[in-house]
Structure 1
Amino acid sequence: MRELVFALEYEPGYNRVADTLAEHPDARIRSLSLHATADHLWRVDHVSGSAAALDDIRDAFLDADYYADCLATDHCGATQTTRVLDRTDDTLVLYSTWERTPTCASVPHIARDHLGDGVLFETRNEGRHYTWRLIHPDDGDVTGFFDTLDGAVGDCAQMEMLRTGETAAGTGGDEPEGELSPEQEAALRAAVEHGYYESPREIDVGDLADHLDIPRSTLTYRLRRAEEQLAKRHVTGTQLAENAPSL
């Protein structure tokens, strides 16, 4: 089995869920389950954030003109249904079904066409950044998948490859545990060199993003994921040192 990890960075106005998440930077959406056939898609998503963020994200799913995962830029006539399965003060669980039409396109359906039926999907939404992790058979047509996906995405999003290769046993995120992707490494290095982590800060995230010529939300995502990995590495190392036997 092999894996593909890539991200779509949605432009404003093309995806209501991405627009809503951009208004609530602390909110997150991750898939709990996602399955697709030739003309249907079913998924369950876990949303975390403030009460106001959950309300807006729920409305974005329930009231959108067309299904959020559809890559079409106009209503394509598909039938969608979203239901709230659970709600607490800071979490929301949504169940969505989508019956597509011939003019619809989505990442799972393009993946089925080029990578086969046995594809597993994992997703994470933060701001306008929509990260996909796909596990697929070795004989999939990866080049055909990305060529078709690039055409379907068009101007509505920027696509970024994060990782491709053999499936790493035990990994379940956007990068192997404790390791930074080259993009995260570059973002973190630039942040340090330009004084982002000084107190007071010598540069804000918007100016740093302009300097790196990437969207602000992309830089924020990369820094957050890098900080998460470094924090986990530090805590794990501290625990190992505390539990080491005395000589």
Structure 2
Amino acid sequence: MREFVFDLVYEETAGPLQQLLTDATGVSSTAIGGCIDAKEFWRLERFEGDEDGVDNLTNAGQRELLAVEQITPAGCEGAVHREVLKQTDAGCELYYHLRDIGNCESVPTLAVEYIDPDVLFELKRSQNRETWTVMMETDDGVGLFYDALQVSLQDGIRFEFDHIGQASKRRTGLFARKNLPAEQREALVEAVGRGYYEKPRQITLEELSTELDCPRSTLSYRLRSAESRLAKSFATGTQQTAFESFPQTPEQQGET
């Protein structure tokens, strides 16, 4: 397993997270995410800092959330679904489902285009700096990804290379995908893909169970079990279990 680590530094302004929060609240974050398909992504992100700033995150609109993703001058298009997994006075933990992303480039979209859909991302944000770790099975396409980043970055964002090398044992474990039973992972993938977690929901549990030819009670149990494991693992800080367990695309499911 390989990793590509680099920083994006916002030279003249605060980073997009701080811009969303409108002032220097001191909020920082750590996150991990992955690809569902070329224009659809997920991310789990833990924020720490000022309570008012955290409230802004949970109340931000689509346009503001999409602006956090973009690294080009063009404004991103798409939809962002957000779930609050945990919230305290000191921070919050959010799940993001981003879909129909278009009209702009971001680190995830470029990585999927030039490396492989089967990549994972770690991200740390603080003030005007983002530290990205792109995890992949081989270095194939990394050179093209590197070049595409250089071309795509808008003025005022500086790229700082850190390293390309062997991923740590902890990060290698993220690709195991074995902690969540296959039937729970499949139920989550289908539920996300068909809009069950959108607000308002695009499909009911009854309709989803009919489409999947799965008893309603069984489907409900699988979803609740998967959600509980994911949320508890992330909330208690055991990120590896939570992130190994997150749903993959149907093609990736066949690998387990």
Q: TM-score, normalised by structure 1?
A: 0.60
Q: What residue identity is the alignment partner of 1:131?
A: T
The Cα shift of 1:148 comes to: 0.5
**Residue 72 of structure 2 aligns to a residue in which SS?**
coil
Within 2, Cα distance between the matches of 1:22 and 1:128? 12
The Cα shift of 1:135 comes to: 1.3
Task: Specify the alignment match of 2:25 in structure 1.
Answer: 24
1:171-210 equivalence runs, <5 A: none
Task: Specify the alignment match of 1:3 in structure 2.
Answer: 3
Task: Specify the alignment match of 2:128 in structure 1.
Answer: 128
Within 2, Cα distance between the matches of 1:67 and 1:39? 16
The Cα shift of 1:57 comes to: 3.8
Structure 2 residue runs of 5 or longer lacking an equivalent are 173-256
Is contact 1:42–1:97 with CA below 8 Å preserved after alignment?
yes
The Cα shift of 1:59 comes to: 4.4
The Cα shift of 1:147 comes to: 0.7
Kindly, what percent of the aligned residue pairs are identical?
Answer: 23
The Cα shift of 1:60 comes to: 4.9
- How has the CA–CA distance of structure 1 residues 66 and 14 changed in structure 2, closer, same or farther, with 3 Å as cutoff? farther
- How has the CA–CA distance of structure 1 residues 45 and 39 changed in structure 2, closer, same or farther, with 3 Å as cutoff? same
The Cα shift of 1:152 comes to: 1.5
Moved over 6 A (4+): none
1:50 matches 2:47? no
Q: What residue identity is the alignment partner of 2:24?
A: E
Within 1, Cα distance between the matches of 2:15 and 2:115? 25
Higher alpha-carbon Rg: 1
Within 1, Cα distance between the matches of 2:74 and 2:133? 26
Q: What residue identity is the alignment partner of 2:164?
A: T
What RMSD in Å do the two structures reach over aligned CA positions? 2.7
The Cα shift of 1:76 comes to: 3.5
Task: Specify the alignment match of 2:149 in structure 1.
Answer: 149
1:110 matches 2:127? no
Structure 1 residue runs of 5 or longer lacking an equivalent are 173-247
Per mean C-alpha deviation after superposition, the further-off stretch among 132-141 and 55-64 is 55-64
Within 1, Cα distance between the matches of 2:55 and 2:93? 12
Within 2, Cα distance between the matches of 1:28 and 1:21? 14
Is contact 2:75–2:103 with CA below 8 Å preserved after alignment?
no
**When the two structures are aligned, how many residues end up with a matched partner?**
171
Within 2, Cα distance between the matches of 1:156 and 1:93? 29
Within 2, Cα distance between the matches of 1:171 and 1:112? 18
**Residue 54 of structure 1 aligns to a residue in which SS?**
helix
Is contact 1:72–1:152 with CA below 8 Å preserved after alignment?
yes
**Residue 103 of structure 2 aligns to a residue in which SS?**
coil
**Residue 150 of structure 2 aligns to a residue in which SS?**
helix
1:70 matches 2:70? yes
1:97 matches 2:115? no
Within 1, Cα distance between the matches of 2:8 and 2:51? 26
**Residue 117 of structure 1 aligns to a residue in which SS?**
coil
Q: TM-score, normalised by structure 2?
A: 0.58
